[in-house]
Amino acid sequence: MFDVSGPQGYFMSKGMYSFERFVKSRWSLVIIAHNRIIFRSQASAVKPLVRYLRERHPDGEPVVIYDKYVGRAAALLMVLIKPLKVYTPLLSLGGKEVFGEFGIPFQAQREVKYLMGFASDQMCQWEKLTAGKTPEEFWKLLHDI
């Protein structure tokens, strides 16, 4: 369990946030800093991470990230955030590779080759787009699209 305060910064009555609680929630992404939920989203793919990087990341706070599905693209964006740890129910091998390369601690319930169709043998558009790219190159590419 991870001690946090409540939605978007106010204290939760139970005072604890757990991986199990996240998995059962409607949120696709929850970011916690200084014992508070500072960002959450129900959006899919990398949209929530892009929004967080644009709106909140300049704060540079040490954070813990809970993300429902982490592929290579999400992992590259998380490298820019520099989280203390990432928790996910589903991690692609590409995402795991990025975390290993950049020393990002993570906990995943399940690892799959690709996220496309959850455990497919097909690479999704985001995995293709990030092939051979550094976190900075991918971030620049997102700005140019």
Q: pLDDT by residue (tens digit) across 63-116? A: 999 999 999 999 999 999 999 999 999 999 999 999 999 999 999 999 988 876
- Residue extents of the structural domains in the chain: 2-139
Using DSSP bridges, classify how beta strands 36-41 and 29-33 pair: parallel, antiparallel or unpaired: antiparallel
CATH 3.40.140.30 fits 2-139, yes or no: yes
pTM of the model: 0.80
- Rounded Cα distance, 43 and 109, in Å: 21
Among 127, 103, 126, residue whose Cα is nearest residue 47: 126
